[in-house]
Copies of this chain bind each other. A is one copy, B any other.
Amino acid sequence: MIRRLAIIGVGLIGGSLALSLRRSGAVEEVIGCGRSAENLERAQALGVIDRGCHDPAEAAAGADLVVICVPLRAMRGVFAALEHAVEPGTVVTDAGSVKGSVVEDARAVFGTPPPWLVPGHPIAGTENSGVEAAFAELYDRRRVILTPTPQNPQDAVERVAAMWRAAGAQVVRMEADHHDEVLAATSHLPHALAYALVDALAGWDDRQEIFEYAAGGFRDFTRIASSDPAMWRDICTANRDHLVAALRRYQQDLGRLTDALAAGDDEQVLRVFENAQEARAGFLRLLEGRS
């Protein structure tokens, strides 16, 4: 049981965490911290938080657990605000989509990452942002990846893991750099591709007709291009090296497919499509096996 939980940044991610922990009776009191008084009032009205404040240090005071759910670009500022405010026994985690940059931010502020900071990343989200988009089921059967530092005592990691399990998630551990490599492929690359496609089509002469005659497949394919642009700029630039590598690699694969199509090597086109369909069927079995 978490007596007092502090959520720094009350949007989709932090708000859904609070709602899911309330649902399972795993938390007594939720303090929300954010810059916008209006957003904190909305969060309180929605039953997401019990009270709000603007200062991370104030929110962390007396909390057992602090979860930082701010955009990556705001991480360093929150760390600085927490530096002298984290009390003995308090554990802090974050929900940033890139873990190498979070550890770098911690190094920049603290020198050595503090033992009480356990980096983490819930693999969940929707294309919507803000506390109004929060819902208690967001983490059900989803993965949360923790990337503990060498400084973390085992029990700090376990307390963060227990919180995410209470929120409905399955917790795994990974090296931060490996996390960033895997997520570059599976999340950051698709987002970049979808943004690039919609941006590209919007620049073509017949864009009006292109969107006019797009159907359900296009809507699904481009859904992630409705995600918050500044947040995704942060994610992509924070994971720059892995994402650039993934993009270059994908471009080579796509170039080969294009060349095969242009050259009339229709067997090769079919092989790529068949292989993809089969791999996606395996992915769906994996998802189903989990739920």
Contact = CB atoms under 8 A, between A and B. Distances in A.
Interface stretch (A9-17, A37-45, A206-214): A206-214
A28 interface: no
A124 interface: yes
A155 interface: no
Contacts of A145: 213
Contacts of A236: 261, 269
* Most chain B CB within a 10 A radius of its CB, from A123, A192, A221, A255: A221
A210 B229 contact: no
Contacts of A249: 200, 204
A14 to B, nearest CB: 17
- Which one of A197, A199, A225, A227 has the greatest number of beta carbons of chain B within 10 Å? A199
A286 B212 CA distance: 7
Contacts of A255: 251
Contact of A201 (B221, B232, B257, B279): B279
Given A202-B279, A270-B230, A277-B226, A253 B196 contact: yes
Nearest to A266: B237
Contact of A193 (B199, B206, B254, B286): B254
Nearest to A179: B213
Contacts of A136: none
Given A206-B182, A244-B262, A286-B212, A192 B257 contact: yes
Interface in A247-291: 247-251, 253-255, 257-258, 261-262, 264, 266, 269-270, 272-284, 286-287
Given A196-B272, A211-B286, 17 more contacts: A182-B206, A185-B206, A186-B213, A187-B214, A187-B218, A190-B217, A193-B221, A194-B276, A196-B276, A198-B276, A198-B279, A199-B253, A219-B287, A220-B220, A233-B270, A237-B266, A247-B261
Interface of A: 123-127, 142-143, 145, 181-183, 185-187, 189-204, 206-207, 209-230, 232-233, 236-237, 240, 243-244, 247-251, 253-255, 257-258, 261-262, 264, 266, 269-270, 272-284, 286-287
